[in-house]
Amino acid sequence: MNTLELKDSRSSSDVECEDDSAGEKSEGRDSGEVKELHALPLTSKLESSDPAMERAGGHESTSPVTPEKAAKARSTKVSYVVVFSSPLLRVHLVESIPVGLYPYTPSSRQSIADSWLHLLDKAKSSVNIAAFYFTLRGSDSAESSDSQGRAVFEQLKQLESKGVKLQIAVNAPQTSTLDTAELAATGAEVREVDLKAVTGGIVHTKLWVVDQKHLYLGSANMDWRSLSQVKEVGLSVEDCSCLAQDAFRIFGVYWSLGGASNGSLPPYWPARVSALSSSQNPLRLKFNGVPARVYLSSAPPQLSARGRSDDLSTILSVIDDAQKFIYISVMDYLPLSEYTEPLRFWPAIDSALRAAACTREVQVRLLVSCWKHSPGAMFTFLQSLLVLNKPPLKCDIDVKIFIVPSTAEQMKIPFARVNHAKYMVTDRVVYIGTSNWSENYFTQTAGVGLVVNQTDSEVKKGQETLQSQAEELFLRDWTSQYASALSVGATDACPRGPH
């Protein structure tokens, strides 16, 4: 059986974090608040458990790990050490800007392609990638905009020769195995994860963990189009072993499923994949020098190990926590069970936003995408939100539609030219995710989220919170020429032709 190396928690995660804190104390840095440590035991290997396209269909899981059991497991109180960040810890809000978008105002942010290449340059022992699919190279018809994807692919191919282990957990079945087969031929371990067989969904996660020390999480697929033809947003984190090892545990869940032969979930998730952070016990770090409370969330509940915050619950808590504004940028927003029969109404997020705007006077702004694959019902639901602006309610809700302009030639590129971002920023926190906002993505399909809270943190000259960066990014798009207001009476809110 192939195994996945996992450092012992006491000898790596906790000790390294404590070493970081000791270093800060010795240099006279503020050490912050300290919690009690209750470390979960870890085995030295992460093995598969033994009880044996952007669209997900199927029925709800009947697997041994039911949502009820998962929720009960997550409610167990787990206490972890407060982590003190390495002074080297760096966090970058990164994005992909499609060719032709913002041609006269280049982004000051690092591109996702450059962030991936940078992480691969730093890799010394391991790279773990969870992905929906792999198509980093365009067709042989000389697609010039795939150069960034090819550069990433070539770096991945060279990892084995550098003594770096590459492990890939990818959704099954793959529509194309060209990239993964070639990477496997150069030494990569590839496991296909047939999530549809156990939950009815897919692996929609986009997650990198490098040396259990660095990570990337965001909307970009392992696709050349995600680097040059699709608008994406993500987060790159360097020299943060505690958070990276927590992300590695989520990867470990997928890896275990990919190694199982009976197409079922284990009766329980072992301690070695239990969460190291949660909404109740966030890691206390310094992101670019600014104190932050940080945790990872995951979906669906069946794949959430002990202590892991549920992704939907996380989104709802972020909305409920907002006091002044909620800015959301997602490709799809649909309060329905988009891929299951019979169709179900799913008002969880929609109701939370209505409550925020109409009962707490929070400003709500939704930026959604328009492209040839947009569900028509989405715009009708969004118009129903806009109705709440009318007297006597006067709820502060506004919706805009973001269209990536395309030439006739660009329109020929399949599954491209769209704002694919999935993030939310409020006056208090920022949430970066990998899921579209409709029911199946939270109940059946695998995804991850990251919450960063720097509220009330001291921000020194030259520093900037991640929340303020995400707010700036959102407002740039919201006020741009590519965003147009949705009106209540519009009958063709999303024209599907060339723009």
Active site residues: 204, 206, 211, 420, 422, 427
Cβ burial of 141 (10 Å; 0-12, 13-18, 19+) is exposed
Using CA atoms, how far apart are residues 132 and 96, in angstroms rounded to an integer?
Answer: 18
Q: Where are the alpha helices (DSSP H) in 31-161?
A: 67-75, 112-122, 147-158
User: Half-sphere exposure (CA, 13 Å, Cβ side) for 409?
Assistant: 5
Q: Can you read off the two tokens belonging to residue 67?
A: 């949502």
Q: Can you read off the two tokens belonging to residue 385?
A: 């939100």
Residues 6+ apart with CB under 8 A from 493: 370, 379, 382, 383, 401, 486, 487
Rounded to the nearest 10 degrees, the angle between the axes of helix 348-359 and helix 376-386 is 20
Is residue 102 within 8 A of residue 480, CB to CB? The reply is: yes
Q: What are the distances in angstroms from CA 335 to CA 159, 329, 332?
A: 43, 16, 10
Q: Which residues make beta-bridge pairs with 285?
A: 292
| Angle of CA points 321, 327, 330, to nearest 5° | 115
Which of 136, 141, 201 lies closest to 168 in space, CA to CA? 136
Is residue 424 within 8 A of residue 431, CB to CB? The reply is: yes
Rounded to the nearest 10 degrees, the angle between the axes of helix 178-185 and helix 147-158 is 30
Within a 10 A sphere around the Cβ of 280, how many other Cβ atoms?
14
Which of 428, 424, 342, 355 lies closest to 388 in space, CA to CA? 355
Distance of CA 202 to the CA centre of its chain: 15
